[in-house]
Amino acid sequence: MATELKLPPGRRLAVLGAPVSHSKSPALHRAAYRQLGLDWEYTAQDVAPGELGAFLGTLGPDWLGLSLTMPFKHEALPLLTERDRVAQVTGAANTLLLSEPGADGTRTVAGFNTDVVGIVRALADAGITAVSSVAVLGAGATAASAVMAAAELGAESVELIARTPAKAAPLVELGRSLGLVVVVSDLATVPDASRAVGLVVSTLPGGTRLDVEFPAALRQHATLLDVAYAPWPSALGASWQEAGGTALSGLGMLLHQALIQVRIFVSGDPFAPLPDEPAVLASMRAALAAGPSDAVGG
């Protein structure tokens, strides 16, 4: 039975990406709003990189919020009127909440990062609530969220493995600011140091094929969370499974970050549970399982 909320009708929301037409986010959000008794519209919008600001300028007063995939998680930061602590710390926002237009037509844009809690909750679903050392593959916005998630899970150290190690410099600064010991490695020469980690989080784009193979010992004892989720298993996930290890797709992260986005769009507060939230989450899980998709992230 849907939980009725007394909120403004006819609100519009969307996930933005380039491309994004195959995203699972519309199915997730529509299921949530249907369960909540809201007639809100949630669509997928293709926006060219560098055009986020211009797109925001075209939105009418019925627009409430946006979910962002790459490359907009960094691009959004200068456009924000305010941001939550996680977006501030990571330098990445994946959720925008638009205020009602003022008398002069202007509106504030609040930015949030729900990827960190998405990672933490997805790992909790798999029984992982604490780690001591984590390896993060990639050096983009989602990698920053993975570093912060590692800190929240109690990690003491993080190994950043990137195709271009120089691009990991901001993540080194982020990790150290969170009290982590940070090591940077080149993805082209997977180091022996990675054997010691208990969790590997890959934020590499879906479809990425690596020219190197991670040590069998690592794949056997360390859990892999790959933010890619379709097709699954990814090449990296398959290599983990072939070694007898545990590989988690990004669907759990996608689900949980979307739930927090729904909280934000409904109440403006990522910490305020939704009415009958377990039922909302169950509806979102069912929507995730129902439809095929070739999407990766978002």
CATH number of the domain that residue 142 is part of: 3.40.50.720
| Structural domain includes residue 1 | no
Phi and psi at residue 215, in whole multiples of 5°? Answer: -55, 140
User: pTM here?
Assistant: 0.94
Which pLDDT does position 58 carry in this prediction? Answer: 94
Domain co-membership, 224 together with 176: yes
Domain co-membership, 103 together with 180: no
Distance (Å, whole) CA 214 – CA 194: 8
Please count the CA atoms within 13 angstroms of the CA of 17 that sit on its side-chain side: 20
Count of Cβ atoms closer than 10 Å to residue 275 Cβ: 15
Domain co-membership, 110 together with 187: no
| Structural domain includes residue 222 | yes
Domain co-membership, 203 together with 262: no
Q: Is 43 helix (H, G, I), strand (E, B) or coil?
A: strand
Q: Which two tokens stand for residue 206?
A: 């879906």
Domain co-membership, 150 together with 240: yes
| Structural domain includes residue 224 | yes
Which pLDDT does position 296 carry in this prediction? Answer: 38
From the list 6, 24, 73, 167, the catalytic residue is 73
Q: Which stretches of the chain drop beneath a pLDDT of 50?
A: 1-2, 293-297
| Structural domain includes residue 4 | no
Beta-strand runs (E) in the chain: 12-17, 41-46, 63-68, 82-83, 95-98, 109-112, 133-137, 157-162, 181-186, 199-202, 223-226, 247-248
Under DSSP, the state recorded for 44 is E
Which pLDDT does position 193 carry in this prediction? Answer: 53
Q: Which two tokens stand for residue 89?
A: 């710390």
Q: How many domains does the chain have?
A: 2
Domain co-membership, 226 together with 280: no
Domain co-membership, 264 together with 220: no
Whether residue 167 lies in the annotated active site: no
Full residue range of the structural domain in which residue 185 is found? 127-245
Domain co-membership, 84 together with 154: no
List 226's β-bridge partners, or say none: 202
Domain co-membership, 77 together with 171: no
Please state the length of the chain.
298
| Structural domain includes residue 34 | yes
Name the packing angle between helices 115-125 and 251-267 (round to 10°). Answer: 130
In order of 17, 31, 54, the CA distances from 47 in angstroms are 6, 24, 10
Phi and psi at residue 185, in whole multiples of 5°? Answer: -130, 155
| Structural domain includes residue 137 | yes
